[in-house]
Structure 1
Amino acid sequence: MKYIVARQVAVTAVSDDREPTGAELDAIEREMPLIAAEVELLDAQIGLLDRPASELDERRVRRARSRVLAARRDLANRTAGVPGGPAVA
């Protein structure tokens, strides 16, 4: 019987003390407005889990969704020229 085994070392090293690189921190910083907008939307949606939505609640969720879409648009436009960013059509 032949056993199939890997002949290579693992592709990614597993390390518990690995810190983010400068490029990863820069990417997080660029995405921070989007992250904040998504957190705001999630907060508005969580507030509606246990009660019916009032008109004020609906407006809050609608504004939060608009902020998320605007942040995604801004991020896509800003990273279009950055290497590793979205491709320009």
Structure 2
Amino acid sequence: MENIVTVQEAVTAFAPWLEPTDAELDAVEAEMPVIAAEVDFLDAQIVTLDRTPTELDTRRLRRARNRVLAARRDAANLSAAAALPEVGA
């Protein structure tokens, strides 16, 4: 009979190269306003799944959608500004 064992080191150990880099963490941080706005929008949608949306629900959905659009606009403007070369003064 042959014993079946796990290789503990392979299961629990993580090499340093598996961790996110500073650039990846910065990219996630830059996207956090968009992610938070999308979560709020999703929450507003979930509330209305099992009932007919009231006027208050409709306003909440509209405002949440507008926050998502604004966050996406701001993120796009930041990435575009970062990609443009600076104009010398």
TM-score by length of 1: 0.72
CA distance, structure 1, for counterparts of residue 79 and residue 31 of structure 2 = 10
Structure 1 segments of 4+ aligned residues over 3 angstroms from their partners: none
Taking the TM superposition and a 5 Å limit, the aligned residue runs for 1:1-89 are 17=14, 18-83=18-83
Asked which structure has the greater RCO (Cα within 8 Å, sep 6+), the reply is: 2
CA drift of 1:20 comes to 1.0
Gaps in structure 1 of 5+ consecutive residues? 1-15, 84-89
CA distance, structure 2, for counterparts of residue 65 and residue 81 of structure 1 = 24
**CA RMSD between the two structures:** 1.8
Structure (1 or 2) with the greater helix fraction? 2
For these two proteins, the number of residue pairs brought into alignment is 69
Aligned-pair identity (%): 66
What residue identity is the alignment partner of 1:65?
R
CA drift of 1:19 comes to 1.5
**Structure with the greater alpha carbon radius of gyration:** 2
